[in-house]
Structure 1
């Protein structure tokens, strides 16, 4: 048995949306680069005309490539090879979470700008990523048995004019918003912004597929984390100063760390409402969701799409307390009457 080594791929391409394209030019090559930007020290992002997103992970960044070990021949697999395989799976999982965050940020901002719900959103899995190379102003995508499965339907829809075009100015605004999130993420002290947005995106996709309990559970976790972050961001815990973006007027008193840790979610929501940081309507929706979450988690009582739908808008309203620009990840659903 022989152990060989090669570097894990540094560039992956994902397709996070089945409907939207970023070109209004008939016949444009689907993988022409429409926008590029860098997200912190993590990756260079390349958005293509077809809506596929290329991610080039940066050396020395948190998602940089590592050495992949392969076995040639028969024999027992050494422990260090098994460990490295587990590390590869973990790294690819973090990369795909990041890819879904980028999709969430871009398409959530586009939805807010266009005053629409998410259309055609796709959660990217480990079996959906492809390898690419940049060649001039376009991406060359690997040709494998998986390539046509992942990209074929969207390529056909774009060629037939069935895809919906996002104006260039809207894409630029979404790119600027997404790139700037790196700075905002560094300012938050309680939540991981990237993870929360990716989860919010996944919850919208699940709602659209009518997996209401799963959508509800994920979005409620996001909502609970964002509520706690609001207290920290506005300098309401432990005497820490408010963040520069936390400018909404309120009348809340500062709590000690001990007093805040004793406050349950119901109390936090009431305090935010009484202090004027959230509306009575938002507080009512979140208190209802809290009761429904308890029934779901502790009694396995189901929730319906009419429950997971309103929670989407409640999460949107919480994001508004922490972000500078409108952003929403809400989706509809279809049914036959």
Structure 2
């Protein structure tokens, strides 16, 4: 038996949306690069004409490629432990990369939706079956011409070539704004003291996709986890936790007295929402809706009592308003749904 080592590919391309294109030449040059951004030391991201997002992971970042091992030849059925352990490590790494890819999609489209004052439509949460390796060749992203690539890119490319009515063009100005916004999130993520901004935004995006599919309980559960994390982050960002200085981006006025980390940890969510409302950081209307959502979350998680799609839709707007306390620009991931009667 021989152990072959090779480096895991350091690039993935996803198609995060079935309805929006990023350029006017999507049919003829679908993978031409129309915008580029760098997210900290993690990745360089390319936005293409057809709306595909290509992510090149940097060697300096936490998602850099590692060696993968394959056992070949006689005796390959008795695979050494270090080979199987590395396979598990690669699975974990690819899962983290996929979460990052969905975060980037959520950031870009969440900003575009806020600019355009429209609901999120055509969104897809990419899975490990939906990614392609790529190379950058000049101003074009190149992928291998395989049946797999056709399955990932073909349906949208066909729709673009047929000029399907549902295809919508994101203007160059809006796309540039979204790219700058996404790039700026690297600094904001490092300033968060409690919530993981990338994970929260990716989950918020996935919850919107689930809401559109009318999987209301799943959407609601995920978005409420995001809401709870953001509520805790607000306390830290706004100087309402002793020894933690107020962040410069925490621009809204409030009257909350700082409490210790221990006290905040011991307070239940009901009290935290009341504190934010009493301190003037959220309106009484938002506070009441969050309390209603909290009770519904308890019923869902502890009694398997489902929520309606109207509840998951309302929670999307609550999460949007909580993001508004922590970001410098409007951002929203609110999806609709279709119903026939």
Q: Show the counterpart of 2:150.
A: 148
Q: Show the counterpart of 1:225.
A: 229
Q: How far has the Cα of 1:27 moved from its partner?
A: 4.7
**Structure 2 portions without partners, runs of 5+:** none
1:268 aligns with 2:296: no
For 1:154 and 1:62, how far apart are their aligned partners in 2? 32
* 2:84 alignment partner, one of 82, 85, 105: 82
TM-score after normalising by structure 2 = 0.97
Q: Show the counterpart of 2:24.
A: 24
* 1:114 alignment partner, one of 89, 113, 116: 116
Q: Show the counterpart of 1:295.
A: 299
* 1:97 alignment partner, one of 83, 96, 99: 99
For 1:25 and 1:282, how far apart are their aligned partners in 2? 43
Q: How far has the Cα of 1:170 moved from its partner?
A: 0.1
Native 8 Å contact 2:26 2:49 kept in 1: no
What does 1:1-20 align with in structure 2 at a 5 Å threshold? 1-20=1-20
Q: 1:254-291 deviations in whole A, cap 9, x for unaligned? A: 11223222211000101111111001111111100000
Native 8 Å contact 1:111 1:328 kept in 2: yes
What does 1:1-337 align with in structure 2 at a 5 Å threshold? 1-25=1-25, 27-73=27-73, 74-162=76-164, 163-337=167-341
**Alignment partner of 1:61: what SS?**
coil
Q: How far has the Cα of 1:75 moved from its partner?
A: 2.9
> Which 4+ stretches in 1 moved above 6 angstroms?
none
Q: 1:68-109 deviations in whole A, cap 9, x for unaligned? A: 111212331111100000011000000000000000000000
**Alignment partner of 1:324: what SS?**
coil
For 2:44 and 2:29, how far apart are their aligned partners in 1? 21
Aligned residues: 337
**Structure 1 portions without partners, runs of 5+:** none
Native 8 Å contact 2:24 2:49 kept in 1: no
Native 8 Å contact 2:36 2:47 kept in 1: yes
TM-score after normalising by structure 1 = 0.98
For 2:259 and 2:133, how far apart are their aligned partners in 1? 50
**Alignment partner of 2:54: what SS?**
strand
Q: How far has the Cα of 1:26 moved from its partner?
A: 7.2
Q: 1:11-43 deviations in whole A, cap 9, x for unaligned? A: 111111111001124754111101011100000
Native 8 Å contact 2:299 2:305 kept in 1: yes
**Alignment partner of 1:36: what SS?**
strand
For 2:66 and 2:163, how far apart are their aligned partners in 1? 41
Q: How far has the Cα of 1:56 moved from its partner?
A: 0.6
